[in-house]
């Protein structure tokens, strides 16, 4: 690419004043195939316009999670929560990304207790005292996606459940703290996984985090367990989720044969998940959706 050409990122700026130094820095980094180190593909690098689009979508997503959290209490069915989320997103000009995604029938995912993820809201699933649940929301706004989930505790939960919820959030926070430009994604994975293991938990490895922004699911894949200094290079402009799914028991899971979506722990133990969408910046990680 010539220095005076428009930059490959779509910013409409000259390459020399946009991503020329960026490309030179990437080329100057030595990669070890033994550590699985890879360069990020260009199509997952967001320009300023893309980032602003993701941030705008995140505003709706964050507001929806704030809103639905006020509705979580014993006696409420999860379909009521789903309907409230759908109305909030649509009324703010967004689109619920989950609705009809590969046949998924609802606008958000609500997963209780031993459900790891992709729980389908239902009138028959009624919250009760002691439940823990994850509400996972993805919003599309003007073509850009933002994705986040939070755990909620209903009434008086057991000390074991409270600890699982707390430690899972700590795993996510440690992973985000390890997300630094010009370092490798394995740092994030190791930070999440090591903290889970130190607390006697396991990481569900069948599912993980992902790039998000221009599409629902993009590179990189975030495993939440692994070794430092391995995997894809993290660079400014990358946007991805950190969303560890932590099990109180074994990491193996089952997928409901009837609905094809609901993922549960194989041994029936509790599971928890927190998720944020982050942007790699020149200095660290900026949380966009929480």
CA nearest neighbour of 71 among 89, 83, 57, 62: 83
Q: Would you state the pLDDT for residue 262?
A: 98
Q: Cβ neighbours of residue 144 under 8 Å, at least 6 residues apart? A: 50, 53, 54, 56, 57, 213, 214
Distance CA 103, CA 111 (A): 18
Distance CA 174, CA 171 (A): 5
Percent of the chain with pLDDT over 70: 100
Q: Would you state the pLDDT for residue 173?
A: 98
Q: Would you state the pLDDT for residue 22?
A: 96
Q: Would you state the pLDDT for residue 108?
A: 98
Q: Would you state the pLDDT for residue 89?
A: 98
Domain ranges of the chain: 36-289
Q: Cβ neighbours of residue 8 under 8 Å, at least 6 residues apart? A: 1, 15, 19, 42
Q: Would you state the pLDDT for residue 255?
A: 98
How do 276-280 and 239-242 pair as beta strands?
antiparallel
Q: E strands, 89-182, where?
A: 95-96, 109-112, 115-117, 132-141, 144-153
Q: Would you state the pLDDT for residue 90?
A: 98
48-69 helix and 78-91 helix, angle to the nearest 10 degrees: 140
Q: What is the pLDDT of residues 181-199, one digit of tens each?
A: 999 999 999 999 999 999 9
Given a contact cutoff of 8 angstroms between Cβ atoms, the answer to whether 253 and 116 are in contact is yes
Domain 36-289, architecture per CATH: Alpha-Beta Complex (3.90)
Distance CA 9, CA 20 (A): 11
pLDDT per position in the chain (290 positions), as tens? 899 999 999 999 999 999 999 999 999 999 999 999 999 999 999 999 999 999 999 999 999 999 999 999 999 999 999 999 999 999 999 999 999 999 999 999 999 999 999 999 999 999 999 999 999 999 999 999 999 999 999 999 999 999 999 999 999 999 999 999 999 999 999 999 999 999 999 999 999 999 999 999 999 999 999 999 999 999 999 999 999 999 999 999 999 999 999 999 999 999 999 999 999 999 999 999 99
């Amino acid at each position: 690419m010539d220095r005076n050409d428009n930059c490959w990122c779509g910013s409409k700026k000259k390459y020399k004043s946009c991503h020329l130094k960026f490309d030179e820095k990437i080329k100057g980094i030595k990669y070890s195939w033994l550590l699985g180190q890879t360069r990020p593909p260009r199509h997952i690098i967001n320009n300023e316009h893309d980032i602003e689009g993701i941030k705008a979508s995140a505003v709706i997503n964050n507001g929806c999670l704030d809103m639905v959290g006020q509705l979580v209490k014993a006696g409420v069915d999860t379909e009521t929560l789903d309907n409230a989320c759908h109305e909030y997103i649509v009324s703010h000009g967004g689109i619920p990304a989950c609705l009809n995604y590969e046949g998924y029938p609802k606008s958000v995912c609500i997963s209780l207790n031993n459900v790891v993820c992709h729980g389908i809201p239902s009138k028959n699933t009624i919250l009760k005292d002691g439940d823990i649940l994850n509400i996972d929301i993805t919003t599309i706004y003007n073509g850009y996606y933002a994705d986040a989930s939070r755990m909620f505790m209903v009434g008086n939960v057991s000390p074991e459940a409270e600890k699982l919820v707390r430690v899972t959030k700590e795993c996510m926070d440690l992973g985000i703290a390890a997300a630094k430009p010009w370092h490798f994604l394995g740092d994030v994975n190791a930070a999440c996984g090591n903290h889970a293991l130190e607390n006697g938990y396991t990481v569900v490895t069948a599912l993980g985090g992902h790039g998000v922004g221009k599409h629902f699911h993009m590179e990189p894949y975030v495993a939440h367990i692994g070794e430092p200094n391995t995997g894809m290079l993290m660079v400014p402009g990358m946007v991805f989720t950190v969303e560890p799914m932590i099990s109180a028991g074994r990491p193996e899971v089952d997928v409901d044969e009837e609905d094809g979506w609901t993922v549960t722990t194989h041994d029936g133990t509790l599971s928890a998940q927190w998720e944020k969408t982050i942007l790699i910046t020149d200095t660290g990680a900026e949380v966009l959706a929480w």
